[in-house]
Structure 1
């Protein structure tokens, strides 16, 4: 269902709550019987002024759910996992680029042998232009007004649409997607469509499409009928057809996604409870804390001196929010190694709000927590726990201590249907 809005910048929470309540009623499942779930606000909706407030309120209404207002980088990562691109990349041992094309944005993730290399996003989507039942334009996104003007396309609010004009615009947007797949040189118009920074060039092995527009891609040489446009009252079907035709020379490189329209949201909070033992360090004053996103700087082998550099790149997915850093760490670290880890973590958290939260797999949390606390120039809350294994994209809840131990809930978004 399309997101109900009060105006162009405000989500209608009351109507969203009604939609969710009706869905729960139809499912014949009582709210107090739902133990897990996820509330994730994505795409254009995540840019609305009350997006964070809506996600929090909806989570409280539903219970102990994972909550995230996904910026473009996080949404790209979620879509890449949800579409199956990450899994296919690992199985094929190849590099796959997934383009998740929704209503207002295209979120791009690049996976190489199962590991995410890059994420970025552009203002390309199916609801950048909307029409009413009479065929008159009722909305044009400000983000593509420059294209309409520069290309001298006759598309105006209040004026009846002409398919030929929409097709010219959608062909241009489709060409931009070829460019971000490194199949053509990046032009200036495409650069203006980037929401995030641009990407590092790469060679693509396979391409997959997800999102609402992904449902329309693959119908090559299909002529768009006027009635098709009214199916959703937007440019989605035309954009899908144009992308299909622009990519038809690369059909051998296209992979079918496991999930398309539901790629980003197919998931639920899977709660796994662990207890972090007595050799830990924590500031009781800030507990309990909930729904803290976890970042893992390293995918495989850890180089302790790269914690800041790689952690900073991962933190960019979570804008203006508290995060926890997760490391395996040495099995029996020397004091020198602990000092290096502490120094890198302090440097990383200088740019991150909230307490310093460290999650370790190996057993040296208390020593690391003490070194971090003693090395800080200004007082700051520190939580350092160990014997816990996590993945990028997980969330953590940390409860009140039970004696010298702390209950921890790791919430993992699941992408298998």
Structure 2
């Protein structure tokens, strides 16, 4: 079986909104164990929208009507019908994820675009998708090295660390080019609350309604650039930088290479002689100056700086091309209940799994979700015996006695079909079962499960976090 599906990526960021449409080629192959598997063979971007300033109704509200118009125009120009879109993601990033209607906009837009276009937000997923879209993940795999990708946008910097193609850490900070904004006269019209403490602590003369001097703005940008050196473990992490973290802090690491993507990534490496205030404020923000200060701050490390494949479009390409995972092909599922969206994942064990304690460990985490439908996620044995499969089935059945709706099990190792069959045989009452494998997840993740493609199922693992 060989087929094509169309995917859409929509990134609604602090500064800009972008759309891409891609063609994914899916085919069945024989694995080393002679089991047929469905894989994504190729990804081709067939349309990239212009980069458009994110439309707002006011400082706290996204203009949904204009966002929808941008997406419709992209579909029209790509010559792909809305009905032909099979997958993709709408991701709201940076400070836009803090707007009052952020959750509503992404949910409504994803539902409008199709059953399996997912609504996502959250710095961890943004960091991962930007790392994929920039090419940092592929470069890490190609060179067998550790690469840190810093995706710097208007409101946030999303960071992913890849080691030999595997993502080891993701985290994010409130560092971006539009944390201070200006009107056409150069007067300050907006200062993000996230950096007010820095301006106050450093006694910098930047005030709302007043014109700014280049030297004062430069002090802010130099301090933010220093914070980026610190999170790359090139300087000691200070308390001010710790206050800029959106997510939890990171485990210290030694990096081989560094890449910069995002809108600010476009300025890094391009130093301007005698930059004037009018050059800095050409987009009514401090983006060009921040890029300049980062370039100068990392001058000592030019030998480890890589130029990414994509910069400003990294996140939207990640959303459109890399948000989808294909399950294994030897799985068990009830097609009649698909697709399923926004299912919270419970992972009973943080480290080593004890199969006989699946119920007791998962039960303690079940209360968080009250009566909501959940999925249980396990690594499971690599080659389980029949007795081990029976133990897992028994524990899962016991857990789902407390949960309405289908039994949903997500496995990392490849024995979903066997487990699904044993669960079905041991149920007292008939219930729908979804048992899929070759999917990795963690507590706090959500899963979207689509309609089958060949013998497999498309899956998106995501984090649904809208920042306060």
Residue 35 of structure 1: CA displacement? 4.4
1:241-283 per-position Cα deviation (integer Å, ceiling 9, x unaligned): 0000000000001111111111111143698998977x84769
Q: 1:304 to 1:337 in 2, by over 3 A?
A: farther
Q: Is the 8 A contact 2:266 2:312 kept in 1?
A: yes
- Whole-angstrom distance in 2 between the partners of 1:65 and 1:399: 8
Residue 338 of structure 2: aligned partner: 288
Residue 403 of structure 1: aligned partner: none
Decide which of 259, 281, 285 is 2:310's aligned counterpart. 259
Q: Structure 2 matches for 1:334-349, cutoff 5 A?
A: 334-336=386-388, 339=391
Residue 16 of structure 1: CA displacement? 1.0
Residue 288 of structure 1: CA displacement? 3.1
1:170 pairs with 2:216: no
Decide which of 292, 316, 333 is 1:241's aligned counterpart. 292
Residue 389 of structure 1: CA displacement? 4.2
Q: 1:139 to 1:242 in 2, by over 3 A?
A: same
- Whole-angstrom distance in 1 between the partners of 2:220 and 2:148: 24
**Structure 1 unpaired stretches of 5+:** 401-405
Residue 110 of structure 1: CA displacement? 0.7
SS at match of 1:111: strand
1:49 pairs with 2:100: yes
Q: Which structure features the higher share of strand residues?
A: 2
Residue 325 of structure 1: aligned partner: 377
Q: Structure 2 matches for 1:125-140, cutoff 5 A?
A: 125-140=176-191
SS at match of 1:364: helix
Q: Is the 8 A contact 1:84 1:257 kept in 2?
A: yes
- Whole-angstrom distance in 2 between the partners of 1:410 and 1:215: 34
Residue 139 of structure 2: aligned partner: 88
Decide which of 268, 288, 291 is 1:217's aligned counterpart. 268
1:194 pairs with 2:234: no
- Whole-angstrom distance in 1 between the partners of 2:78 and 2:155: 30
Residue 158 of structure 1: aligned partner: 209
SS at match of 1:155: coil
- Whole-angstrom distance in 2 between the partners of 1:126 and 1:344: 48
Q: 1:152 to 1:294 in 2, by over 3 A?
A: same
Q: 1:412 to 1:337 in 2, by over 3 A?
A: closer
Q: 1:398 to 1:170 in 2, by over 3 A?
A: closer
TM-score, length of structure 2 as denominator length: 0.70
TM-score, length of structure 1 as denominator length: 0.78
Residue 94 of structure 1: CA displacement? 1.1
Decide which of 420, 437, 451 is 1:366's aligned counterpart. 420
Residue 397 of structure 1: aligned partner: 449
SS at match of 2:110: helix
Residue 320 of structure 2: aligned partner: 268
| Cα RMSD, aligned residues only | 4.2
Q: Is the 8 A contact 1:66 1:395 kept in 2?
A: no
Decide which of 98, 103, 110 is 1:59's aligned counterpart. 110
SS at match of 1:268: helix
1:72-117 per-position Cα deviation (integer Å, ceiling 9, x unaligned): 1111111111111111111111111111101100011111111111
Decide which of 359, 362, 385 is 2:435's aligned counterpart. 385
1:5 pairs with 2:63: no
Q: 1:63 to 1:5 in 2, by over 3 A?
A: same
Residue 373 of structure 1: CA displacement? 7.6
- Whole-angstrom distance in 1 between the partners of 2:427 and 2:62: 41
Q: Is the 8 A contact 2:375 2:409 kept in 1?
A: no
- Whole-angstrom distance in 2 between the partners of 1:371 and 1:121: 46
Residue 368 of structure 1: CA displacement? 6.1
1:337-356 per-position Cα deviation (integer Å, ceiling 9, x unaligned): 65368769999x9xx99976
- Whole-angstrom distance in 2 between the partners of 1:115 and 1:13: 36
1:16-62 per-position Cα deviation (integer Å, ceiling 9, x unaligned): 11222333344454433444443222222222232222112112322
Q: Is the 8 A contact 1:369 1:382 kept in 2?
A: no
SS at match of 1:87: helix
**Structure 2 unpaired stretches of 5+:** 1-51, 462-468
